[in-house]
A = this chain, B = another copy of it.
């Protein structure tokens, strides 16, 4: 269904077991829940998914298990960007082998202030190593990675390969930047990384969102999407307000830990709270405050609704 590379995506959390490994059964349960709650797709092993806290072999193992358990690889976007070409290509080819087309790719993120030429080369050598069916979604999250994906680099990459350089996730939190991307690169699927920008993104012709908040409110985001497409502007705005409120509540916390705390509480499953260092779990008092704020914002955890259609 995602030929167009667009929609409501959750940037999934990654449950962790007692040994610090990916907790595959809980990941699988969460992905199913997200798809049933209305996500067009789910991005795994992004920033919210603590991707960089797991080694390549662990990320491969988890993705394999997820696809073998029946999650449609066409509805997955997989984070593959590492600091070196070999790891990035290993993850990307592995995902391709499982039928995943969409690859979310961080720039190499150790060195800072790197020249555009170097950044371009880093992406280009990944492209050189991938098959024709791969679709790269460039990952712009400078406040975390420290390495912006600049306009000149996007332009060169698009000139080189307008099909496989298919999208960008703009997690800068700067709506103006997102709108400039949409205006500047027709045909590029521009996703917002902030839930706040969903409706602005869609109105400008963007591709949608890939967000942390959708771990909780994918169903609301989906209502924004559906209402927007049906031309029901007031309804879209009304849901948008609710989504933005939840996002604001999350943003004032360490987001990954906050999401896991809420999901753990909702599912009555304390194991879901675990994060990998260098992140830490929310203290109990902070968790209670968070849950109270979300409750006041109208959010309540709902178990998976297996009859929902996620198209």
Q: Interface residues, chain A, CB within 8 Å of chain B?
A: 20, 47, 52-58, 83-87, 90, 107-112, 114-115, 117-119, 121-122, 125, 143-147, 254, 276-280
Instruction: Give the residues in chain B near A54, CB-CB below 8 Å.
Output: 84, 86
Task: Tell me whether A125 and B277 are in contact in the complex, defined as CB-CB below 8 angstroms, given that A110-B144, A144-B112 are known contacts.
Answer: yes
Instruction: Give the residues in chain B near A107, CB-CB below 8 Å.
Output: 278
Beyond known contacts A47-B111, A52-B111, A121-B277: 17 more, CB 8 A cutoff: A53-B84, A53-B108, A55-B84, A55-B87, A55-B90, A85-B276, A85-B277, A108-B277, A110-B144, A112-B144, A114-B279, A118-B277, A119-B277, A121-B280, A122-B277, A146-B146, A147-B278
The answer on a CB contact under 8 Å between B55 and A279 is no
Interchain Cβ contacts under 8 Å between A and B, 27 examples: A20-B125, A52-B84, A52-B108, A52-B111, A53-B83, A53-B84, A53-B110, A54-B84, A54-B86, A55-B56, A55-B86, A55-B87, A85-B276, A108-B277, A108-B278, A110-B144, A111-B144, A114-B279, A115-B254, A115-B280, A118-B279, A119-B277, A119-B278, A121-B278, A122-B278, A146-B146, A147-B278
Main secondary structure of the interface of A (DSSP, over half): loop
The answer on a CB contact under 8 Å between B279 and A111 is yes
Instruction: Give the residues in chain B near A56, CB-CB below 8 Å.
Output: 55
Task: Tell me whether A20 and B85 are in contact in the complex, defined as CB-CB below 8 angstroms, given that A146-B146, A278-B119 are known contacts.
Answer: yes
Checking B58, B117, B118, B278 against A111 with a beta-carbon cut-off of 8 angstroms, the contacting residue is: B278
Looking at A58, A85, A118, which has the most chain B CB atoms within 10 Å of its CB?
A118
**In the complex, how many angstroms separate the beta carbon of A60 from the nearest chain B beta carbon?**
13
Instruction: Give the residues in chain B near A143, CB-CB below 8 Å.
Output: 112
Instruction: Give the residues in chain B near A87, CB-CB below 8 Å.
Output: 55
State the CA gap A309–B119 with chains docked (Å).
Answer: 42
**In the complex, how many angstroms separate the beta carbon of A198 from the nearest chain B beta carbon?**
25
The answer on a CB contact under 8 Å between B118 and A278 is yes
**In the complex, how many angstroms separate the beta carbon of A84 from the nearest chain B beta carbon?**
5
Instruction: Give the residues in chain B near A109, CB-CB below 8 Å.
Output: 109-110
State the CA gap A254–B113 with chains docked (Å).
Answer: 10
Q: Closest residue of chain B to A107, judged by CB?
A: B278
**In the complex, how many angstroms separate the beta carbon of A239 from the nearest chain B beta carbon?**
31
The answer on a CB contact under 8 Å between B145 and A280 is no
**In the complex, how many angstroms separate the beta carbon of A61 from the nearest chain B beta carbon?**
12
